[in-house]
């Protein structure tokens, strides 16, 4: 299925009448609502998507000239994952956005490692079957090992990577008590009794804002890692400058969301 530009598609007959398309239709309506009522957040998502598209264009245009395509391919995968995470967050699927956002961070981290270590890609491709060799291979291509390597090049970036990864785990990318009840909504019935409901689509509240912030940061991380991995691309596309601008924009969005956070009990 290809991307369609400038074309409004009318839902087919029966769309919304079954369990899955009913949910998809509601999620899409939330995306429309976010586009209209939270344009500044949509623009932030879109601006990062545009810069990741520039990274992908650079990666694909230089792919055949590279010694190994893995690093570039991982960054293109991170771009794809960011688009998916942004859709989830924009539609209110906040908990589901975290595991996909975690994948963005991991793809960008692995992409950086394979781009900056000339022999790592070969080792990564040749996953051993021998138990001892496999253990050593697994230790090298482990998130904690790679963030340790990243710390040697950029300490703050490594701290950021670990924070994003842990945040994803805490809020839904891994089974844990912190995320266990995030989709549960409590209300009082007409008789005063407690009524529990599952809420997979969240309104624009604290939960949604935190998910938005997280997803935006994963995109910023991917752009920053691409810039570090491919200095020529950074010089040509001004990616580090773009990432810094996104960070300032996010700070402005957070500062402007105080009323929502307070009204939601923050």
**Cα angle value 46/85/7 (rounded, 5°):** 55
What does the pLDDT profile of the chain (266 residues) look like in tens digits? 456 665 677 899 999 999 999 999 999 999 999 999 999 999 999 999 999 999 999 999 999 999 999 999 999 999 999 999 999 999 999 999 999 999 999 999 999 999 999 899 999 999 999 999 999 999 999 999 999 999 999 999 999 999 999 999 999 888 877 777 777 777 777 787 877 788 899 998 899 999 999 999 999 999 999 999 999 999 999 999 999 999 999 999 999 987 665 565 54
pLDDT tens digit string along 66-110?
Answer: 999 999 999 999 999 999 999 999 999 999 999 999 999 999 999
Read off the pTM.
Answer: 0.92
pLDDT at position 1 is: 46
Has residue 8 been placed in a domain? no
Task: Supply 60's token pair.
Answer: 């694909």
pLDDT at position 37 is: 95
pLDDT at position 265 is: 52
pLDDT at position 194 is: 78
Has residue 16 been placed in a domain? no
**Cα angle value 192/194/196 (rounded, 5°):** 145
pLDDT at position 5 is: 63
Has residue 19 been placed in a domain? no
- Candidates 55, 65, 164; CA nearest to 105 is 164
Has residue 17 been placed in a domain? no
pLDDT at position 185 is: 78
Has residue 32 been placed in a domain? no
213: CB partners within 8 A, 6+ apart: 250, 253, 254
Q: 3-class SS at 257?
A: coil
pLDDT at position 259 is: 65
- Check: CB of residue 100 under 8 Å from CB of residue 94: no
Has residue 1 been placed in a domain? no
Has residue 134 been placed in a domain? yes
| Residue 238: DSSP 8-state | T
84: containing domain: 38-263
Rounded CA-CA distance 46/171 in Å is 23
| Structural domains in the chain (count) | 1
In SS3 terms, 115-184 reads as: HHCCCHHHHHHCCCCCHHHHHHHHHHCCHHHHHHHHHHHCHHHHHHHHHHHHHHHHHHHCCCCCCCCCCE
Has residue 26 been placed in a domain? no
Instruction: Give the helix/strand (H/E) hosting 186.
Output: strand 184-188
pLDDT at position 38 is: 95
């Amino acid at each position: 299925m290809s991307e369609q530009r400038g074309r409004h598609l009318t839902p087919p007959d029966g769309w919304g009448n079954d369990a899955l398309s009913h949910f998809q239709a509601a999620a899409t309506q939330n995306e429309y609502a976010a586009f209209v009522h939270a344009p500044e957040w949509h623009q932030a998502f879109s601006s990062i998507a545009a810069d990741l598209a520039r990274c992908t264009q650079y990666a694909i245009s230089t792919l055949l000239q590279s010694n190994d395509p893995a690093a570039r391919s991982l960054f293109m995968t991170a771009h794809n994952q960011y688009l998916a995470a942004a859709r989830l967050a924009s539609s209110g699927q906040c908990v589901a956005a975290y595991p996909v956002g975690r994948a963005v961070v991991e793809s960008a981290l692995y992409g950086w490692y394979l781009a900056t270590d000339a022999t790592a890609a070969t080792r990564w491709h040749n996953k051993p079957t021998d138990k001892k060799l496999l253990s050593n291979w697994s230790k090298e291509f482990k998130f904690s090992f790679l963030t340790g390597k990243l710390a040697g090049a950029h300490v703050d970036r490594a701290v950021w990577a670990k924070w994003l990864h842990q945040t994803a785990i805490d809020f839904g990318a891994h089974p844990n008590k912190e995320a266990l009840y995030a989709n549960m909504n409590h209300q009082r019935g007409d008789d005063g009794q407690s009524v529990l409901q599952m809420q997979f689509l969240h309104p624009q509240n604290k939960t949604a804002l935190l998910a938005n912030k997280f997803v935006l940061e994963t995109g910023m991380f991917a752009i920053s890692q691409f810039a570090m991995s491919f200095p020529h691309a950074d010089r040509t596309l001004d990616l580090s400058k773009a990432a810094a601008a996104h960070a300032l924009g996010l700070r402005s969005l957070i500062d402007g969301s105080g009323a929502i956070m307070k009204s939601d009990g923050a």
